[in-house]
Amino acid sequence: MNPQPVTTVRLTPAAARTVATELRTADHATETGGILLGHHSADVVTIHHAGTPGPAAVRTPTYFLRDRAHAQMLADQAFAADGSVWIGEWHTHPTGRPIPSARDTATYQQLLGDPELGFTSVVALTLAPRDGQWTGTAWVAHDRGVATAALELLKPHPRNEATGRLH
């Protein structure tokens, strides 16, 4: 199997909602984030689930590292739900730009180098505030470096939205 390089990252409404909730409720004195789970097809990655940081996440003003045990639990749940696999991570830069830092890039290279995880690329979504709003950019790390990817937010399906509403 030799998947094509990722050029587009699509975020489903459910995944976007998890990120939006964390952005709204987190203390932005430190970075926050989580893992991304979904499917890679041709050159498109569709993110069906976004993770929360987890109780053991490392959160400093300039660094975020997900809680590995929490991530594994989310990965197991997502795989059982719809076959989603761990494809990357999202995190914030509360005082910086939405660009992976040198330390972020080193983390992605570490994930790529772990044969147990079997990553051929790591999708990274970085978020930073701009004009009072969180702005996200998508990145794809592979063994030759990090490149930008197009980020698309999928619109909620009208019918799914109706059935998903709580009364």
Q: Which residues contact Zn ion (rule: CB under 5 A)? A: 101, 104
Site of tokens 């660009």: 99
Question: Residue 155 CB, nearest distance to Zn ion (Å)?
Answer: 28
Cβ proximity to Zn ion: between 12 and 104 the closer is 104
Q: Which one, 75 or 146, has the nearer CB to Zn ion?
A: 146
Residue 146: closest CA among 96, 109, 94: 109
The residue number whose beta carbon is nearest to Zn ion equals 104
Nearer to Zn ion, 12 or 137 (CB): 137
Min CB(33)–Zn ion separation in Å = 8
Rounded CA separation 45/61 (Å): 29
Residue from 94, 85, 87 nearest 22 by CA: 94
- Pick between residue 7 and residue 101 the one whose CB is nearest to Zn ion: 101
Cα atoms in the Cβ-side hemisphere of radius 13 Å centred on 49: 21
Q: How far is the CB of 162 from Zn ion (least distance, A)?
A: 38
- Quick check: helix, strand or coil at residue 66? coil
Cα-based distances in Å from 89 to 14, 131, 133: 16, 24, 20
For residue 126, the minimal CB distance to Zn ion (Å) is: 6
